[in-house]
A and B are shown apart, each in its own frame.
Chain A
Amino acid sequence: MMPTSLPTHPLARYLLHLADDQLVMGHRNSEWTGLGPILEEDIAFSSIAQDQVGHSLAFYEILHQRYGLDNPDQTAFNRPENQMLSSWLVEQPIGDYAFSLVRHWCYDQAVALRYESLSQIQDPALHALATKLRGEVKYHTFHAHTWMKSLLHGSEESRLRMLSALKEVWPLALGLFESWPGETDLMEEVGTTGQGWYPGEQKLQMQWQARALESMASWGVDVEASGLQRMEPVLGGRQGYHSEYLAPLLEEMTAVFRLDPQAEW
């Protein structure tokens, strides 16, 4: 495989990490299709997975057209693991439905914030794209919220499962906001509001955490006792260091494509 070197342009690198996260998240979530907890939810969750893969495609397309990356299929299906910028959160196996739902909730809240900020970019194409994709993410967060609330208020078992998934997911979710080379450059870019459109990872994390903790408190979770606030993030993804799960995931995802990467499938 020809290693595609990572883009040096800060915006390109940022878009690549968005794209890689969406691809890997959508791929993982698609593992539930046909195997979900009830038919209706099977369908809903599959749509979310499709949206995510679709979003990654949209970003790879821009990266290809503007920043000289290979076409989306090659970029997604023919890239070495250490060139991937996905977070550890999205790489983890699907676990039980509690894990997948809590991850979905944490993840899509973060995506919503990123799209909110991206929709203030001056670049017209990216502004339009972020605005368009926000509608889909609004459904994702509604879906995630509804399930979180319902299952945290459901049975003793569901509450325990959700709380235990929260503890498992939280440090991984914090890793979504890992700082990355080029971050400070991107923060200087002025957006439509006359100020920087990209607040930087630290600020995004604070916004995300405030929203998440507020929701949890409203669902009766004792945030203080949960110990979530004392947890350390799991880092590495944004630098190309990955959990043990990414390599097998990529191997599976690209199994057919790699039979002949130059063929048309």
Chain B
Amino acid sequence: MPILSLDPRVNRLQAEEVPAHQPPVLIPGDHWPSYQVFHQRRRGEKHSSVGIVHAPSLEIAMAMAKEQFARRGETSNLWVVCTADVLEMDYADEEVFRTTPSKSYRDPAGYKVNDKIEAYKARQSNL
């Protein structure tokens, strides 16, 4: 006996009640692999990672990404990349970056010359 619903769409589906010991409806891989989606809001801006879609191919991934990640607001472009093709650094290795912020010789802020100049000027005017 199909389920009787208040939703006319559901009545047209003729859904049957789930039996007590329902075996898995989906097998592994049934919902396809995933693709990472990158979104560019406007020309000139960078693409940013916004999430994933499950899809069987790059082309369908793109068709799916368009509505899941660009159905509101502004979009200029999208990329999709198969997740399995991405190499991710291990978070446990985060320490390789630990000292980077302190390498002041790579930053403009690491070079302060005004004190020197002011001192020099002061010396010159005292001559």
List residues of chain A with CB under 8 Å of any chain B CB: 31, 35, 38-41, 43-44, 46-47, 93-94, 139, 142-143, 146-147, 150, 252
Residues in B neighbouring A46, C-beta threshold 8 A = 67
Residues in B neighbouring A35, C-beta threshold 8 A = 9, 13
Beta-carbon contacts under 8 Å, B43-60 to A: 53-57, 59-60
CA A44 to CA B60, docked complex, whole Å: 11
In order of increasing CB-CB distance, the 7 nearest A-B pairs are A40-B64, A44-B67, A47-B67, A40-B53, A43-B67, A31-B9, A143-B63
Number of interface residues of B (CB under 8 A): 19
Q: How far is the CB of B2 from chain A (nearest CB, A)?
A: 15
A150 touches B64 (CB 8 A): no
Closest Cβ neighbor of A44 among chain B residues: B67
Given A35-B13, A93-B12, A252-B8, A43:B64 Cβ within 8 A = yes
A40 touches B9 (CB 8 A): no
Query: By DSSP majority rule, is chain A's interface helix, strand, loop, or mixed?
Result: helix
Residues in A neighbouring B55, C-beta threshold 8 A = 40
For B8, B57, B64, B66, the residue with the greatest tally of chain A CB atoms inside 10 Å of its CB is: B64
Residues in A neighbouring B67, C-beta threshold 8 A = 40, 43-44, 46-47
Q: How far is the CB of A144 from chain B (nearest CB, A)?
A: 9
Residues in A neighbouring B71, C-beta threshold 8 A = 43, 47
Given A38-B31, A40-B68, A47-B71, A146:B54 Cβ within 8 A = no
B60 touches A150 (CB 8 A): yes
B59 touches A41 (CB 8 A): no
